Amino acid sequence: MKELATLGGGCFWCIEAIYKLVDGVNKVTSGYAGGYVENPDYQQVCNGTTGHAEVVQLEFDPQVISYQQILDIFFSVHDPTTRNRQGADVGTQYRSIILTHSEQQQDIAQTTIAALQRKSGQKPIVTEIEPLKVFYPAEDYHQDYFEKNPYQGYCRIVIAPKVKKFMALQQENKG
């Protein structure tokens, strides 16, 4: 059995690198969604002219990991209170977005955000929730980017620390 989840929380390379480490996530594909241009390419999305966000689409086994757990990880690895930005990555393509595949996912996402908002207090959660219309896989060179380019500057400075922090959190939760 498999389910899909589609999430955007900044650069897709970061989110992809995290979810590739998660038990029960069988496949992670970087891509584009949430916009209005058909078959966008990376340059168009980076220019902010397509309405699309950089996202990852996860294929996961709900008997191993729940959609709720997928969202818990998502909110632990990016800042859902910054609009159209994660760190130095700025623009609508880096927005926090959950693209749902069912009404059940929509309900879980709304409940999760409401609970986070109660915990966070003042800072509003700006994560968008909308039904997925279409997902466009990114170009091949974006797939498994961190794995293939661990010594590239962005990977060393931005992605590696996020992966390290996530792995430490996983160890804490197991211990």
Q: pLDDT tens digits for 100-136? A: 999 999 999 999 999 999 887 778 999 999 999 999 9
Is 11 labeled as catalytic in the residue annotation?
yes
- pLDDT at residue 175 tops 70: no
CA nearest 145: which of 78, 50, 46, 56?
Answer: 56
Kindly report, residue by residue over 37-86, the tens digit of the pLDDT: 999 999 999 999 999 999 999 999 999 999 999 999 999 999 999 999 99
Residue tagged active-site, from 11, 14, 46, 155: 11
Of 78-82, 119-123, 142-146, 161-165, the poorest mean pLDDT is in 119-123
- Can you tell me the distance from the alpha carbon of 123 to that of 78, in angstroms, rounded to the nearest whole number? 14
Cα–Cα distance, 129 to 112 (Å, whole number): 11
Q: What is the pTM of this model?
A: 0.95
3-174 has CATH 3.40.710.10 classification: no
User: Which has more pLDDT, 66 or 87?
Assistant: 66
